[in-house]
DNA sequence: CATGAATGAGCATTCATTCAT
DNA sequence: TATGAATGAATGCTCATTCAT
C-alpha cells in the first residue's frame, strides 16, 4: 500500500493565480489579463481558474484587494523613529519605483487606478487605500518637531504629498525611462517643502 | 456667385473617428475601445475605420497624438500676465478635473498614461508631452518676482508641480468622487509651497 | 443489468470535424475550407472546432494526416495474389477516379498536393506518402514472373507508374469530365508497358 | 511648353497585373492571391486593378488564359527534327521542373489544375490545353520511324505520356524536393517505354 | 486611366462562461 | 479540487466590390 506523502509545493492555488495575474498586469497591462493567460501563467487549466474565481471580475477584484492589502502592510511596516523627515522619506520612498520590485508594484497600481477610473467597484477600493495611506502620511507629518501641525493641516499636506509621489511614480513608469537619483532628489525637495514653515 | 451654404457634416472622417475613440476612452476606458465600437460611435462602417487606420494600434496612437496636441495647445493658450502665482494657477488648473470637460480630459490622459506604462511607442509620446508641459511650468516659475529662480531649480520645481497636479487628478478620477473646492485648495497650497523662499 | 443501448452518435468530435473538412475540400476545394464552414458542416459551434484544433493550420494538417493514413491503409489492404499484372492493376485502380468514392478521394489528394507545393509542412507529409505508395508498387513489380526485376529498376518503374496514375487522375478531375473506360484502357496499356521486357 | 515625351516603361498595366498574379501564385499558391496582393505586387492601387479586371474571377481567369497561351506557345516553339525520340524528349522536358523557370511554371499549372477541379469555367480551359498538348505529343509519336503508329494509338500513348510527365512534375513540386537527374532519367525511361514495340 | 472613400461580409482567433465528470 | 468539452459573442483584420472623382 502506497502512503500518500506529498506535503511538497502546496502553495494555495488561489495565491498562485493572484500572483500570475499581477505578473501579467505588471508586464503587459491589465487589459492583457485573461482567464486563459492567467491559467497558462499559473500552469493550471482554465477550468481550475474558474473553479477558484467564478468570473473574471471576481478574479480581478480579488487581485486588487490583495494589492491593497500589500500596500497597507508595507506602509504600516515602515519603522517610524523620532525624526519626522526621515519617517516621511521612508514611507514615501516605498511608493516610488526605486528598484525593480517597487517599479513592478507601481505598474500594478497604475493599471488598477486607471481601471478604477471607469469601474465603480474598483474606485471604492482605491478610495479606501488612498484614505489609509493619506492618514499614515498625515500622522507622520503631524508629529513634526517644532510645534504640532494641526490635524486638518496635516491631512491637507498629506494629500498633496501622496499625490506628488504617485504623480512622480506615474510619470516615471509611463514615460518609459526614469532615474533613481532624480526621483530621490525630487522626493527630498518635496519633503523639505512640506515641512518648511 | 455661389453662397457658401452647408459646411455641415464635412468634418474629416479621421477626426470623427478620433473623437469617437476619445469619447469611448473617457467613458469606459481604453480597454473598451474596439474597432467596432469606434465605428458604431462614429456612425460609419467597420471597413471605413480600417480604411483610415489600417490597424487598431495606428488608430490608438493617432488618438493619443491628438490628445498630446490638444494639451500642448491648451497649455500654450493660457495667457500669462505679470503675476507669477496667477500664471502658475492658470496653467495647472487646466490639468485638474475642475469641470466635466477637464474631468474627461483627465480620464483620457490617465488611460493613455497607464497604457504607456506597457507600450513603448506610447511611452515616447508621453515622455514628450511631460517634457513640454514641464518646460512651460518651469518658465512660469522662473519668471518669479523676487530675483530670478535658476533654470535648473525651476525645472526641478516644475517636475514636482506637474507630478503633484497629475497625482491629484489621478486620485480624483480613480477614487470615483472628488470635489472642486478640495482640489482648488490643494492647488493653492501647492503653489504657495513651490513659490515659498 | 443495464442493456447497452445507444452506441449511437458517440463518434469522436475530432473525427466528425475531419470528415466535414474533407467533404468541403472534395466539393469546393481546400481554399473554401474555413473554420465556420467546417463547424456548420459538422453541426457544432465555431468554438468547438477550435477547442479541438487550436488553429486552422492544425486542423488542415490533421485532415491531411488522416488522408495519408487512409491511402496507406487502402493500398496495404489490396490483396495481392500470384498474378503480377493483376496485382498492379488492383493497386493502381485504387488511385483512379473510377467511381464517386475514388473521385472524391482524388479531388482531396489533388487539393492537398497543390497546397503542399507552397506549404513545406504538408510537403513533408506528401513526400512520405509518395515514398510509401511507391514502395508498395515497386514491391508488386519486383515480384514479376520471368526473373526478378532488380529492386532499383523496380523502384524507378514504380515512380513512373505512380506519376502516370496520379497524372491521369489529375487530368480527369481537373478537366471536368472523364470516362471510366478511357481510364481503364490507359491503365491497362500503362501496365503492359511497365511489364514489357 | 513641355512636350510629353515618355515612351518609357510603358508596359501594359494588364500584363503587369497578370505577371504579379502569377508570381504570387507560384510563390504562395492561388489561394493567397487577392486583389490587394496583386495591386501591391504590381505597385498600383486596388482601384486600378479593378479598373482592368472588374472582378477577381475575371482576373484569375485572364491569368489562366495567359498561362494556357504560354504553354501552347512553348510547346509549339519546340523545333522538331527527324529524330522522334529527341522530339518527344524536347517537348516533354518543357513540362518538367528542370530549372527554376520551369519549376515556377509547374507550380502555376498545378495551382490552376487544382482549382479547375472545383471550378467548371477553369476546367474548360484545362480540358482545352490538355487536348492541344496531347495532340502535339501524339503528332510526335505518330511520326515514329519504324512504320507509322496509327493515330488513335498515338493519341492513347500521348495521353499516358502527358499524364506521366504532369504526374512527375506534380510529385516533384508537391513533395518539396526533387532532383534534375531523377526527373531526366525517368523521362528517358518513359519515352523508351512509349516507343518500344 | 487611375485613385481613394466607403461598405458589409467574411476570416481566424480569443474570450468568458456553463456544464458534466 | 480539478479538468476538458462545448458554446456563442466579440476581437482585429482582410476581403471583393461599388462609387464618385
Q: Across the interface, do D126 and C175 touch by the CB < 8 Å criterion?
A: yes
Q: How many domains does chain A contain in total?
A: 2
Q: Across the interface, do B159 and A186 touch by the CB < 8 Å criterion?
A: yes
Query: Region C138-160: what's the mean pLDDT?
Result: 83
Higher-pLDDT residue of A8, B65? B65
Query: What percent of chain A is modeled with pLDDT above 90?
Result: 74
CA distance C56 to chain D (A): 15
Same domain, C167 and C82: yes
pLDDT at D22 over 90: yes
Q: Any alpha helices (H) in B53-119, and if so which ranges?
A: 56-77, 84-93, 100-116
Same domain, A127 and A95: yes
User: Which chains border C (3 or more CB–CB pairs < 8 Å)?
Assistant: D
CB D37 within 8 A of CB D115: no
Higher-pLDDT residue of B160, D177? B160
Higher-pLDDT residue of B189, A4? B189
CATH of the domain at B37: 1.10.10.60
pLDDT at A124 over 90: yes
Residue A29: closest CA among chain B residues belongs to which residue?
B118
Same domain, C108 and C46: no
The domain of C15 spans 1-54
Same domain, A44 and A66: no
Prediction pTM value:
0.87
| Pairwise CA distance, residues D176 & D165, whole Å | 17
Same domain, D111 and D157: yes
Give residue-wise pLDDT tens across range D95-108. Answer: 999 999 999 999 99
Q: What is the model's pLDDT at position B147?
A: 61
Q: Is the CB of B45 under 7 A from strand E?
A: yes
Where on strand F do bases come within 7 A of a protein Cβ? 1-20
Q: Across the interface, do C110 and D111 touch by the CB < 8 Å criterion?
A: no
Contacts 24+ apart (CB under 8 A), B61-69: B61/B121, B61/B122, B61/B125, B62/B14, B62/B18, B63/B18, B63/B21, B63/B22, B63/B25, B64/B112, B64/B122, B64/B125, B65/B125, B66/B18, B66/B22, B67/B22, B67/B105, B67/B108, B67/B109, B67/B112, B68/B125, B68/B128, B68/B129
Q: What is the model's pLDDT at position B74?
A: 87
Q: Across the interface, do B186 and A126 touch by the CB < 8 Å criterion?
A: no
Residue B153: closest CA among chain A residues belongs to which residue?
A189
Q: What does pLDDT average to over chain D?
A: 89
CA A172 to chain centre: 15
CA-to-C1' span, C31 to F17 (A): 20
Same domain, C10 and C68: no
Same domain, B45 and B130: no
Query: Position of cell 532532383?
Result: D179
**Residue among C124, C126, C175 minimizing CB distance to D130:** C175
Same domain, A111 and A36: no
Same domain, A99 and A180: yes
Query: Region A182-190: what's the mean pLDDT?
Result: 96
Query: What percent of chain A is modeled with pLDDT above 70?
Result: 92
Q: Is the CB of D51 under 7 A from strand E?
A: yes
CATH of the domain at B135: 1.10.357.10
Q: Is D34 left (phi over 0), alpha (psi -120 to 50) or beta?
A: beta
Q: What is the model's pLDDT at position C114?
A: 96
Same domain, B93 and B7: no
CB A19 within 8 A of CB A108: no
Q: Is the CB of B44 under 7 A from strand F?
A: no
Give residue-wise pLDDT tens across range C75-109. Answer: 888 777 778 888 899 999 999 999 999 999 999 99
Q: What is the model's pLDDT at position C5?
A: 39
CA-to-C1' span, A34 to E14 (A): 9
CA distance B80 to chain A (A): 25
Q: Is the CB of A34 under 7 A from strand F?
A: no
Q: Across the interface, do C189 and D114 touch by the CB < 8 Å criterion?
A: no
| Pairwise CA distance, residues D145 & D83, whole Å | 8
Q: What is the model's pLDDT at position D110?
A: 96
Same domain, A130 and A159: yes
Same domain, A70 and A17: no
Give the largest CA-CA distance in chain C. Answer: 68
CA distance B70 to chain A (A): 18
Amino acid at each position: 500500500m502506497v502512503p500518500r506523502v506529498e506535503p511538497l509545493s502546496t502553495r494555495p492555488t488561489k495565491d498562485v493565480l493572484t500572483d500570475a495575474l499581477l505578473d501579467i498586469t505588471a508586464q503587459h497591462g491589465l487589459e492583457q489579463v485573461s482567464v486563459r493567460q492567467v491559467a497558462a501563467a499559473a500552469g493550471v487549466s482554465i477550468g481550475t481558474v474558474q473553479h477558484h474565481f467564478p468570473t473574471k471580475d471576481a478574479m480581478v477584484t480579488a487581485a486588487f484587494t490583495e494589492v491593497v492589502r500589500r500596500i497597507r502592510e508595507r506602509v504600516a511596516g515602515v519603522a517610524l523613529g523620532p525624526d519626522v523627515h526621515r519617517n516621511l522619506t521612508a514611507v514615501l520612498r516605498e511608493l516610488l519605483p526605486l528598484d525593480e520590485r517597487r517599479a513592478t508594484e507601481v505598474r500594478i497600481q497604475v493599471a488598477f487606478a486607471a481601471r478604477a477610473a471607469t469601474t465603480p467597484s474598483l474606485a471604492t477600493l482605491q478610495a479606501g487605500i488612498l484614505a489609509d495611506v493619506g492618514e499614515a502620511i498625515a500622522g507622520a507629518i503631524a508629529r513634526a518637531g517644532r510645534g504640532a501641525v494641526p490635524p486638518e493641516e496635516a491631512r491637507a499636506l498629506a494629500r498633496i504629498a501622496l499625490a506628488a509621489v504617485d504623480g512622480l511614480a506615474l510619470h516615471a513608469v509611463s514615460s518609459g525611462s526614469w532615474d533613481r537619483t532624480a526621483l530621490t532628489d525630487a522626493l527630498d525637495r518635496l519633503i523639505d517643502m512640506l515641512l518648511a514653515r
